Chains A and B, each alone.
Chain A
Amino acid sequence: MIPAPAFLANPERFMAFSRWAAPALGVIAVVLALVGLWLGWSAPPDYQQGETVRIMFIHVPAAIMAMFVYACLGVASFLALVYRHVLADCAAQSAAVLGTGFTGLALVTGSLWGRPMWGAWWVWDARLTSVLVLFLFYVAYLSLRASIDDETKGSRAAAILALVGLINLPIVHFSVYWWNSLHQGSSMFTPGALAPVYAWPLYVMLLAYLAGFGSLWLVRIRGEVWRRRAEAAALRAARG
């Protein structure tokens, strides 16, 4: 197994680790977000986009997280499916909810940015469409999970779907690109493409999003573990 999940695979160790890691990451996320927002706010308005360029600091990290969280969901689902590990299943479930949130945020902020820039709330361009399909993947995952009563079966079925989606997403991405492209290409990691005055707040915000996701993910996994423990305790009590 990958070393980090192997270390955290022990539930006791995980609970002890996440007990302080979750709040610590949360504090880091808040500090980084404050710094990033301050940097973003004090950056000069873009010569072409004006003040709306600041939407980028919210939108771009959200879009990156949308994909990153799906990768986390895929890895967690794989571990849950192959090793039948309960914690990995909790992690997959928690990642899906958060990923839906990030994808929704990316879509909404993108739409708000598109209105002043392109003159339309929505255009059927490649990137927008592939993020929309990603959102539908998340929705499908959550609805499959929600509609199977047997929790073990539901989680395994959802894990299979997550892996099918993991194979499919690059194909969807590629096919949608082949179909059309209007959205500008990614310039975030191309040296010189983005002025430092915009690049720095963007990087700080990305780190803030990552830390925030880490914190919320741990909190949600902890909550899920407690819920399952409570359920098991209730079953034991009912049996007498």
Chain B
Amino acid sequence: MSRLGALIRRETTLAWGRGGGPLVTVGFYAGVATLLPLAIGPERERLAAVATGAAWVALALASLLSLERLFERDYEDGALDLMTLSETPLELTSAVKCLGQWIATGAPLALAAPVAAIGLGASAALAPLIFACALLGGLAFAFVGGIGAALSLGARRGGLLTAVIVLPLFTPPVIFGGGALDAMASGLPWQAAFALLAAYTAAAVALGPLAMAAACRNALS
């Protein structure tokens, strides 16, 4: 247990500290949210119509940013080799890595998401649901994104490749999260979409580590 605790501490510290962590991610998120009205136009009604959707897509993009460093750093300096040799199964290590990623980028983004959406003109009553969706969706983004990051280990232009692999996999959580927000904004029941988002997240958390561990073993073989 203490080994696991040390692992969680290590991954979170690394994700939080090195390379800017939450600062870079939230900064990127704020940048995208700022560019959006400049492209769409400043009219309030027009912006309000797309506010939640835009905030949600920007969130998916922002969670791609730090994926490249998730496995690459440990792969390059040999730490991943040691992790493979340790008694902790690689599946669990991968899951902890994604958890660290989520704590360092997903959670700060979840705090920033309602601010961005309300700034774009969404109703303030939506803020709790946006926060919950972003928190839950962020977990799915981290675990699905981890698959892409592990698969592109040792590839040329790994970062770009990760995005190409991961974006099609992001389709269901983007649909479910956007659907829940849209339903609540138009006064419809949003619980079904939120439950689907939670189900997708649960599946990603359960199955993602298997693919990540297989991909890491392959890259190290």
Binds B, one of A63-71, A174-182, A217-225: A174-182
- Give Cα distance in the complex from A139 to B164, angstroms: 8
Q: In the complex, are the beta carbons of B175 and A140 less than 8 A apart?
A: no
Looking at chain B's contact residues, the main secondary structure is helix
Give the shortest distance, in Å, between B208 (CB) and chain A (any CB): 9
Which of A161, A167, A178, A179 lies in contact with B165, CB distance below 8 A? A161
- Give Cα distance in the complex from A6 to B49, angstroms: 57
Q: Which residues of B contact A175 (CB under 8 A)?
A: 171-172, 175-176, 196
Q: In the complex, are the beta carbons of A176 and B171 less than 8 A apart?
A: yes
Q: In the complex, are the beta carbons of A164 and B147 less than 8 A apart?
A: yes
Q: Which residue of B lies closest to A139 (CB)?
A: B164
Q: Which residue of A lies closest to B157 (CB)?
A: A147
Q: In the complex, are the beta carbons of B164 and A140 less than 8 A apart?
A: yes
Q: In the complex, are the beta carbons of B152 and A178 less than 8 A apart?
A: no
Q: In the complex, are the beta carbons of A136 and B168 less than 8 A apart?
A: yes
Which of B153, B156, B168, B171 lies in contact with A149, CB distance below 8 A? B156
Binds A, one of B7-15, B61-69, B210-218: B210-218
Binds B, one of A39-47, A114-122, A150-158, A232-240: A150-158
B161-196, CB under 8 A of A: which get 1 and which 0? Answer: 100110111011001100100000000000000001
Add 14 more A-B contacts to A149-B154, A175-B175 (CB < 8 A).
Answer: A133-B171, A136-B167, A136-B168, A143-B165, A147-B158, A148-B156, A153-B219, A160-B211, A160-B218, A161-B151, A163-B211, A172-B168, A179-B175, A179-B179
Interface positions of A (Cβ within 8 A of B): 133, 136-137, 139-140, 143-144, 147-150, 153-154, 156-157, 160-161, 163-165, 167-168, 171-172, 175-176, 178-179
